């Protein structure tokens, strides 16, 4: 049985732009968009001249959150509040900062992040280590827990429904789709903001650079491009969305997730093609779709061969060579917890007529071909975890 | 709708390792509080916490497992192995895609992070041990546990701070009821860590000596650590293998204050709502609940507001309330899972563990606290309450197997039944 959830709104804070229209506009010209996203040098990582990252350029919280009250909010929390506010507005669920359709008790959120509190932990830890634990800033302390950011969104936007934070590496935002589907099906909420967020930070950059995974400004052809951003989808049961006459951007129809551990006991990091193919098949089964129905895949291809090769092998196992595989991370950068949500956002752009791009392998979308009706978003993790969501046209 | 049974328990705590030792210590009213040994508290103004002592990972993990995982995951895997054995399952019985793992935590592998950050701050990036970095990440807790079991279904970490254990258990039960898994290994793990400790001192929430929930002289929380695992099975799966269920998982209530990032809303409305929803979606009325295992942190704000919410929900019924944080301290992400294990053991044994150090009950906490000595009482339905930093709340119902009414649980039932229960 299909999940049958309507996506009625979309909000984004990305290196490509802020808001659905700006981001969709950018996606029409993916080559220019990639240049825009990676225009550097980074202000967050200004001490690292080799950093080649996709930053939310020129972020000014006052533009999106108003003049006051955001000083104790960290960067990721600011992104999330801005994205949530846009999403509620885009869905017609709020106007002028007030919810208009559903009671705040009946609207919640489900947010993924992988390393969202790392920056706050690092900041306080530095003070504790180099100065004294007694000097850590108590107003920053709540930011060290991963769910605080979503708690702030609840406060700022008046959302008092179920509020879950999920962590599953690269796969968390797609996993949020199932969590939200469960709550909506059981009547625990009328609308949920579903998505994820991640932020550029010095500790994350240093760790990934130390592991040799990152793209280098002096050698920008290979390696992972770190990105940042936040993305929420407003999700309602399809019948409820129809009953209120909501505009529907697309439907979440199926979900799958799988874990396949490395065969060798001593291995820890190893992406799994079998996990990818099983997650995709389960998502299609739930959506009542066959592989041939799928027009495009919003993959998690990120110029990291260890993960990309496993994902492409898993996709080939399901689709053969008959599907367009695109790489939204070429435009958004690697955003871990947010990645699945940005993949779904790219899918919504394609359903709305943007060219499916950038394609893995550099091919171009065939001009004049009908817009896709079915997109599968996939995410593959470092450790053998993978998730997939089937997205269909309204 | 499938019934969801608890069939196995594993626990690592400051007062005992393993189900039996834990339960004996809880009923004996033993405190896990002592001087912190795992880091230097000199000059921090506080020095007491409830640390796990006597846990040896070699008792539970292979050499390869010890090698590939950091300490928080080690606790989670060890606790899982105990729970699987307690459930009467062979180690390989849960292999395959129909087993999922959903775990709560707050800081996950914070020890590893702190060590590497110290190296970085003092010695620059060259001092960081790159080979250890892949072991950091909250996502690894369920992944290590899944790997230890051969489980190949969904792996999920839910880091909703002090309510994480309940969020995980509630979602685990959801997955079974939705037919997405036959077995979900769930629970939570947390380590005591210096930065957290310093933070709680800095926000003025930590007691200098004891954890005294609901007492007029309470001085704040003590931090704790540990891991707790519950094996949840669909009724069909449990019955097919002839397992004797310990308890049934009922409904849950999920809500958020949306009020303040660390303080609960003074009227406790959403705390009460989450309890009401857990009760209603279990097909019960407030009068059916025999016992509430409270969040009971021993902070000034929590205990008064939680008491208010309990009275709001239960009125004159006055269920027996306890806070085992009086013995375990506040184990953050693991707290609600440790409390869930206590709920199941209470149902199984017909005894409620005490709230120790309750010398002068705060008149503002006007609830029936099980003070200082365990209370023997027939129990059919218990409610586990959890409230988090961030404003997230989650209440979960546990009941004697078969006690809960059959439920078709159609869409929309939660709201309708919650309103009926008001």
Mean pLDDT per segment of 10 residues, for chain A of length 394 residues? 96 96 92 82 90 93 90 93 98 95 98 95 94 92 94 97 96 98 97 98 96 87 92 98 98 98 93 98 98 97 94 97 93 96 98 91 69 96 97 96
Nearest CA in chain B to A149: B390
Nearest to B409 among A122, A125, A186 (CB): A186
Contacts with B196 from chain A: Cβ below 8 Å: 144
Nearest to A155 among B139, B197, B258 (CB): B258
Q: What is the pLDDT of residues A159-203, one digit of tens each?
A: 999 999 999 999 999 999 999 999 999 999 999 999 999 999 999
Q: What is the pLDDT of residues B244-272, one digit of tens each?
A: 999 999 999 999 999 998 889 999 999 99
Nearest to A210 among B128, B194, B388 (CB): B128
Contacts with A5 from chain B: Cβ below 8 Å: none
Chain B interface, best mutation among A185, A207, A275, by max B CB count within 10 A: A207
Q: Do A145 and B412 touch (CB under 8 A)?
A: no
The pLDDT value given to residue A368: 58
| Among the four given CATH numbers 1.10.3720.10, 3.40.47.10, 3.20.10.10, 3.30.1330.10, the one describing domain A5-249 | 3.40.47.10
The pLDDT value given to residue B2: 83
Q: Do A385 and B143 touch (CB under 8 A)?
A: yes
Lowest mean pLDDT among A28-42, A55-69, B288-302, B395-409: A28-42
The pLDDT value given to residue B199: 95
Q: Do B62 and A175 touch (CB under 8 A)?
A: no
Q: Do A145 and B259 touch (CB under 8 A)?
A: no
The CA-based diameter of chain A, rounded to the nearest angstrom, is 64
- Banded model confidence at residue B416, pLDDT cuts 50, 70, 90: very low
- Banded model confidence at residue B411, pLDDT cuts 50, 70, 90: very low
Same fold, B4-240 and B251-421: yes
Q: Do A259 and B122 touch (CB under 8 A)?
A: no
For chain A, the domains span: 5-249, 251-392
Nearest to B130 among A164, A211, A265 (CB): A211
The pLDDT value given to residue A357: 87
The pLDDT value given to residue B420: 47
The pLDDT value given to residue A370: 79
Q: How far is B24 from chain A (nearest CA, A)?
A: 33
Size of interface A-B (CB pairs under 8 A): 251
Chain B interface, best mutation among A74, A129, A147, by max B CB count within 10 A: A147
- Banded model confidence at residue B362, pLDDT cuts 50, 70, 90: very high
Contacts with A237 from chain B: Cβ below 8 Å: 411
The pLDDT value given to residue A30: 82
Q: Do B64 and A265 touch (CB under 8 A)?
A: yes
**Domain boundaries B251-421, CATH class:** alpha beta
Report the alpha-carbon distance of residue A39 to residue B371 in Å, rounded.
Answer: 64
Q: Do A125 and B270 touch (CB under 8 A)?
A: no
Name the residues of B annotated as catalytic. Answer: 162, 295, 330
- Model confidence at B414: pLDDT above 60: no
Q: Do B392 and A151 touch (CB under 8 A)?
A: yes
Nearest to A206 among B120, B153, B198 (CB): B120
Give residue for tokens 């007491």: B48
The pLDDT value given to residue B408: 54
CATH number of A251-392: 3.40.47.10
CATH number of B4-240: 3.40.47.10
The pLDDT value given to residue A367: 56
Contacts with A105 from chain B: Cβ below 8 Å: 255, 270, 273
pTM over 0.90: yes
The pLDDT value given to residue B225: 98
Q: Do B157 and A134 touch (CB under 8 A)?
A: no
For chain B, the domains span: 4-240, 251-421
- Model confidence at B412: pLDDT above 80: no
Q: What is the pLDDT of residues B33-45, one digit of tens each?
A: 999 999 999 999 9
Tell me which of A349 and B415 has the higher pLDDT.
Answer: A349
């Amino acid at each position: 049985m299909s999940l049958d959830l309507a996506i009625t709104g979309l909000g984004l804070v990305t290196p490509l732009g802020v808001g659905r229209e700006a981001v969709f506009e950018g996606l029409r010209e993916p080559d220019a968009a990639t240049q825009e996203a990676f225009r550097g040098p980074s202000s967050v990582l200004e001490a690292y001249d080799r950093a080649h990252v996709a930053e939310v350029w020129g972020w000014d919280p006052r533009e999106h959150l108003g003049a006051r009250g955001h000083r104790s909010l960290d960067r990721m929390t600011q992104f999330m509040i801005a994205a949530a506010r846009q999403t509620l507005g885009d869905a017609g669920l709020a106007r002028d900062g007030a919810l208009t359709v559903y009671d705040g008790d009946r609207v919640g959120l489900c947010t993924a992040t992988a390393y969202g509190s790392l920056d706050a932990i690092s900041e306080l830890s530095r003070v504790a280590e180099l100065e004294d634990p007694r000097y850590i800033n108590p107003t920053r302390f709540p930011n060290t827990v991963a769910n605080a950011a979503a708690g702030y969104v609840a406060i700022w936007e008046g959302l008092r429904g179920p509020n879950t934070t999920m962590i599953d590496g690269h796969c968390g935002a797609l996993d949020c789709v199932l969590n939200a589907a469960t709550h909506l099906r059981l009547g625990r909420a009328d609308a949920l903001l579903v998505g994820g967020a991640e932020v550029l930070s010095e500790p994350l950059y240093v760790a990934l650079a130390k592991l040799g995974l990152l793209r280098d400004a002096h050698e920008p052809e290979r390696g992972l491009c770190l990105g940042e951003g936040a993305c929420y989808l407003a999700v309602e049961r399809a019948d409820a969305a129809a009953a209120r006459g909501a505009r529907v951007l697309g439907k979440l129809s199926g979900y799958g997730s799988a874990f396949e551990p490395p065969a060798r006991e001593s291995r820890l990091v190893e992406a799994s093609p079998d996990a990818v193919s099983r997650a995709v098949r389960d998502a299609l089964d739930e959506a009542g779709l066959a592989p041939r129905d799928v027009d495009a895949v919003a993959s998690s291809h990120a110029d990291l061969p260890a993960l990309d090769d496993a994902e492409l092998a898993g996709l080939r196992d399901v689709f053969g060579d008959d599907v367009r595989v695109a790489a939204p991370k070429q435009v958004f950068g690697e955003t871990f917890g947010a990645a699945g949500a940005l993949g779904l956002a790219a899918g919504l752009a394609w359903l709305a007529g943007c060219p499916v791009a950038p394609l893995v392998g550099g091919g171009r979308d065939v001009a004049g071909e009908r817009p896709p009706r079915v997109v599968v978003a996939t995410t593959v993790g470092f450790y053998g975890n993978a998730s997939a969501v089937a997205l269909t046209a309204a | 709708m499938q019934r969801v049974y608890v069939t196995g328990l594993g626990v690592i705590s400051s007062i005992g390792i393993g189900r039996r030792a834990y339960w004996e210590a809880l009923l004996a009213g033993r405190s896990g509080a002592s001087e912190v040994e795992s880091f230097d508290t000199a000059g921090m103004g506080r020095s007491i916490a409830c640390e796990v002592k006597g846990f040896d990972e070699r008792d539970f993990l292979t050499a390869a497992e010890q090698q590939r995982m950091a300490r928080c995951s080690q606790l989670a895997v060890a606790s899982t192995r105990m729970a699987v054995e307690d459930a009467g399952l062979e180690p390989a019985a849960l292999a395959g895609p129909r087993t999922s793992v959903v775990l709560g935590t707050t800081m996950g592998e914070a020890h590893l992070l702190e060590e590497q950050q110290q190296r970085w701050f003092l010695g620059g990036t060259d001092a960081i041990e790159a080979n250890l970095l892949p072991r950091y990440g909250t996502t690894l807790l369920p992944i290590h546990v899944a790997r230890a079991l051969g489980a190949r279904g969904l792996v999920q970490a839910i880091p909703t701070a002090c309510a994480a254990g309940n969020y995980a258990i509630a979602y685990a039960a959801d997955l079974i009821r939705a037919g997405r898994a036959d077995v979900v290994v769930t629970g939570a793990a947390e380590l005591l860590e210096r930065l957290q400790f310093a933070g709680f001192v800095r926000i003025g929430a930590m007691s200098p000596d004891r954890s005294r929930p609901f007492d007029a002289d309470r001085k704040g929380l003590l931090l704790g650590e540990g891991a707790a695992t519950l094996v949840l099975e669909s009724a069909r799966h449990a019955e097919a293998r002839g397992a004797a269920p310990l308890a049934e998982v009922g409904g849950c209530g999920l809500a958020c204050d949306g009020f303040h990032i660390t303080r609960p809303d003074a009227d406790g409305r959403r705390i009460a709502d989450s309890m009401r929803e857990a009760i209603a979606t279990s097909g019960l009325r407030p009068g059916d609940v025999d016992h509430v295992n409270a969040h009971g942190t021993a902070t000034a704000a929590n205990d008064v507001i939680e008491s208010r919410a309990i009275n709001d929900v239960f009125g004159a019924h006055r269920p027996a309330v306890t806070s085992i944080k009086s013995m375990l301290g506040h184990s953050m992400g693991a707290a609600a899972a440790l409390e869930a294990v206590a709920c199941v053991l209470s149902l199984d044994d017909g005894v409620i563990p005490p709230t120790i150090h309750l010398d002068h009950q705060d008149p503002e906490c006007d609830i029936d606290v099980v003070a200082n000595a365990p209370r023997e009482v027939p129990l059919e339905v218990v409610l586990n309450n959890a409230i988090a930093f961030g404003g997230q709340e989650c209440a979960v119902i546990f009941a004697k197997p078969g006690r809960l009414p059959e439920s078709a649980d159609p869409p929309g039932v939660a709201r309708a039944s919650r309103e009926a229960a008001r």
